Structure 1
Amino acid sequence: MNPISSFDGSVYFTGMTMGLSLIVAIGAQNAFVLRQGLRNDHVFAVCLACALSDGVLITVGVTSFAAIAKLLPWLDPVMRYGGAAFLIWYGAKSMLAALSASGALEIGGGKSVSFGKTMATCLALTWLNPHVYLDTVVLLGTISTRFPGGQAAFAAGAATGSFLFFFALGYGARLLRPIFARPSAWRVLEAVIALVMWVIAAKLLFGM
């Protein structure tokens, strides 16, 4: 069957809705995108990297998540502990920034992080987070089986939802800049980000 001729608009919008519902909740990746948007620092590249990563994982989930789980039973513990370690480190870094009295986080001030370091952090927060795989590969992969013949439309809708969300979050953050023009507001944000990272790490380590 031609996948284009079988494209179902209702399944597409169902995929978009499901994709948005899974990524809207604040997490390590979303907190990072928000921070970059507020800083106006490599926003397009960060949003694009997150959206493309989701698109790849959604495609994998829709097409072959069950087979991957059977072939790589060791993947879950590796991703779980590796991701937790990274989140603990990143949370400590954010908390250190929150406790600092430096004005380095003021909008338009401070030293911009290099593109390479920014993208490395962005990709690590994405690909080392097991919850990303749970949402995209497992949950969306499972839901897509309810639409036999419409998996392509479902995957396209879910990927579209990711693009819409990340770019809206990254570029919409500028509306909050008047609030974050004060270094104290930045320190509060950094503290919140640190707590989010540590809570997620605890969930990974202790199965909460």
Structure 2
Amino acid sequence: MLESYLTGLLVCGGIIVAIGAQNAYVLGVAVRREHHWWSAGLCMSTDVLLLAAGMFGVSAVLLSMPSAMEVLRWLGVVFLAWLAAQALYRAAFGRQALASGAASVGSRRKVVLATLAVTLLNPQVYLDTLLLIPAIGAQQQSAATFVAGAVTASILWFSLLAWGGSSLSPWLSRPLAWRAIDGTIGVMMAAIALHLAGGAGLAA
């Protein structure tokens, strides 16, 4: 059972790290200290639900609806492009340029909705949590222990992003540092949007 747990931990950990859009968003709100634990907690909860659903057969239903995956793909492209544009705008004009909208920027509701969107509009999330990871888990001695390891990886990773980004915030408070962070996040989001637009995000 320990082997199943460690397999889930390592497999899920490697896959979660590779989902760039979600990670970039959580890290961004953590550095800005904008309800980052809400964002991280939502990502963890979503992973738990999707992984459990994948192990109980939702993957078979998802495979029977390729049109739904296509719709999700293009919704994801549009949303990621919008996030990229916002980040690049902040990189170009700095945080002070957004001061007039400070009341709405960083609200808990906005962070929660954006986290849900960047998670649920990414087809790769479904391919990983509902197809790839459960397929590996089905081959383990204990599927439940495998899922426990996968869930542990999600909790550890998003906790690290939230805590690490928030802890580094005082050292990243200079305008130039913020611009570099936003610029990096913007480029990442744009690259992932182009990746999805090309259909690569739907590759198994």
Q: Normalised by the size of structure 2, how large is the TM-score?
A: 0.88
Of 17, 24, 47, the match for 1:31? 24
Unaligned runs of 5+ in 1: 1-7
* 2:60 is aligned with 1:67: yes
Larger radius of gyration: 1
Cα displacement string for residues 99-143 of structure 1 (whole angstroms, at most 9, x for unaligned residues): 11443689xxx6552111110001100101111112211210211
**1:61 shift after superposition:** 1.8
| Separation of aligned partners in 2, 1:162 and 1:70 | 24
* 2:14 is aligned with 1:21: yes
Cα displacement string for residues 135-160 of structure 1 (whole angstroms, at most 9, x for unaligned residues): 21121021112125x11111111011
Q: Percent identity?
A: 36
Describe the SS at the equivalent of 1:60.
Answer: helix
Q: Which residue of 2 aligns with 1:83?
A: 76
Cα distance change on mapping 1:56 and 1:178 into 2, 3 Å: same
What is the identity, as a one-letter code, of the residue corresponding to 1:124? A
* 2:47 is aligned with 1:54: yes
What is the identity, as a one-letter code, of the residue corresponding to 1:96? Y
| Separation of aligned partners in 2, 1:26 and 1:33 | 11
* 2:154 is aligned with 1:165: no
| Separation of aligned partners in 2, 1:100 and 1:60 | 43
Q: Which residue of 2 aligns with 1:206?
A: 198
Of 88, 100, 104, the match for 2:93? 100
Hey, which of these two has a bigger chunk of helix by percent?
2
Of 163, 172, 177, the match for 1:180? 172
What is the identity, as a one-letter code, of the residue corresponding to 1:78? V
Cα displacement string for residues 153-206 of structure 1 (whole angstroms, at most 9, x for unaligned residues): 111110111011101110122342243110111111111111111111111111
Cα displacement string for residues 39-70 of structure 1 (whole angstroms, at most 9, x for unaligned residues): 22212211110000011111122221442134
Q: Which moved more, 1:113-122 or 1:59-68?
A: 59-68
| Separation of aligned partners in 2, 1:192 and 1:184 | 12
Runs of 4+ in 1 over 6 A off after TM superposition: none
What is the identity, as a one-letter code, of the residue corresponding to 2:42? A
| Separation of aligned partners in 2, 1:163 and 1:199 | 26
1:93-132 aligned within 5 A: 93-103=86-96, 113-132=106-125
What is the identity, as a one-letter code, of the residue corresponding to 1:139? L
What is the identity, as a one-letter code, of the residue corresponding to 2:9? M
Unaligned runs of 5+ in 2: none
Superposed CA RMSD:
2.0
Q: Which residue of 2 aligns with 1:155?
A: 147
What is the identity, as a one-letter code, of the residue corresponding to 1:91? A
Q: How many residues align?
A: 197
